[in-house]
């Protein structure tokens, strides 16, 4: 068991050390201030986060859950050392224009898990996200990642068009939190993907043996802490975000 945990930790370290890291915080905004808030963030983004040599920030509006219609702000970096660089001018502008219009809640650092992320051959840049947050038991990580790895191989076999990003929480979370982020154009696109679920299950069984889909889904469920699965929808706001790379 110790060897399994050590391997998982080592894999996480290597994955995050060689890929993107994301610092996230929630921004609570009074409905009366939404228009002013979005205009101020858009202006800050244009001035301080729109060029290649500037810090990258992405803004999502939360669409579901207890914090719906507030915002998630993400700083995207290639390594954690970038978080040491202070953008004094950008920060001063933010505090002057955006600061009075919101309350910042929490701070978490996530690592992009490239080993478990599914990237289609052609990546379509879309703004709609269905996100599943998982809290995984210490002694059940092997079962959790078994399903995630096999799901990725199934999507590869199906040549699925939608990207599925996976991120591990590095700091700021209580427990082994993982995000699985399904990329869609909109709710209609998401529904169309759900309609292919029987094909996914059939392909999964073809690849890993009859009954493996249901067995591995049950292992996945049993690998989670109580209340360890939460679903949220977010929408990326392009004018309030750095350009794609």
pLDDT at position 203 is 98
CA angle 120, 18, 171 (to 5 degrees): 100
- Select the more confidently predicted residue: 220 or 15: 220
pLDDT at position 3 is 42
pLDDT at position 245 is 74
| Cα 32 to Cα 24, 158, 226, distances in angstroms | 24, 46, 36
Determine the average pLDDT of the residues in 29-49.
97
In the chain, the percentage of residues whose pLDDT exceeds 90 is 89
Per-residue tokens: 65: 């859950």
Q: What length is written for the chain?
A: 245
Give strand pairing partners of 230. 133
Q: What is the pLDDT of residues 86-120, one digit of tens each?
A: 999 999 999 999 999 999 999 999 999 999 999 99
CB 75 within 8 A of CB 25: no
pLDDT at position 4 is 42
In the predicted model, is pLDDT for residue 232 greater than 90? yes
For 57-61, 81-85, 208-212, which range has the lowest pLDDT when averaged over its residues?
A: 81-85
pLDDT at position 122 is 86
In the predicted model, is pLDDT for residue 124 greater than 90? no
Confidence of residue 15 (pLDDT cuts 50, 70, 90): very low
200: left (phi over 0), alpha (psi -120 to 50) or beta: alpha
Q: For the chain, what is the mean pLDDT?
A: 92
Q: What is the pLDDT of residues 173-224, one digit of tens each?
A: 999 999 999 999 999 999 999 999 999 999 999 999 999 999 999 999 999 9
In the predicted model, is pLDDT for residue 67 greater than 80? yes
Interatomic CA distance for residues 132 and 113, integer angstroms: 15
Those residues whose C-beta lies under 8 Å from the C-beta of residue 17, and which sit 6 or more positions away, are 79
Q: Residue 107 CA to chain centroid, in angstroms?
A: 14
In the predicted model, is pLDDT for residue 13 greater than 60? no
Q: Residue 9 CA to chain centroid, in angstroms?
A: 19
CB 157 within 8 A of CB 208: no
Interatomic CA distance for residues 76 and 11, integer angstroms: 21
First to last CA, the chain: 40
The CA radius of gyration of the chain, in Å to the nearest whole number, is 19
3-state secondary structure of 26: strand
Interatomic CA distance for residues 164 and 205, integer angstroms: 20
Confidence of residue 123 (pLDDT cuts 50, 70, 90): confident
- Read off the pTM: 0.90
Where is 71: in which H helix or E strand? Answer: strand 71-77
């Amino acid at each position: 068991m110790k060897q399994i945990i050590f391997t998982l930790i080592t894999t996480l370290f290597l994955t995050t050390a060689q890929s993107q890291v994301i610092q996230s915080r929630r921004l609570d905004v009074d409905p009366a201030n939404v228009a002013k808030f979005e205009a101020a963030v858009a202006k800050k983004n244009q001035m301080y986060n729109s060029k290649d040599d500037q810090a990258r920030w992405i803004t999502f509006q939360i669409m579901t859950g207890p914090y719906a219609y507030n915002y998630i702000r993400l700083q995207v970096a290639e390594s954690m050392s970038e978080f040491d660089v202070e953008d004094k001018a950008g920060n001063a502008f933010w505090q002057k224009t955006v600061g009075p219009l919101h309350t910042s809640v929490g701070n978490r650092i996530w690592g992009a898990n490239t080993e478990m992320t599914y990237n289609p051959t052609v990546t379509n840049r879309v703004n709609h996200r269905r996100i599943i947050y998982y809290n995984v038991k210490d002694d059940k990580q092997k079962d959790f990642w078994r399903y995630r790895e096999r799901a990725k191989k199934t999507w590869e076999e199906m040549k699925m068009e939608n990207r599925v990003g996976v991120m591990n929480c590095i700091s700021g979370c209580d427990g082994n939190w993982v995000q699985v982020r399904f990329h869609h154009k909109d709710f209609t696109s998401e529904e169309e993907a759900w309609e292919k679920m029987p094909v996914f299950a059939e392909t999964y069984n073809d690849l890993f043996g009859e009954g493996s889909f249901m067995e591995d889904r049950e292992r996945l469920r049993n690998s989670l802490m109580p209340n360890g699965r939460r679903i949220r929808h977010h929408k990326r706001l392009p004018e309030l975000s750095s350009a794609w790379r």
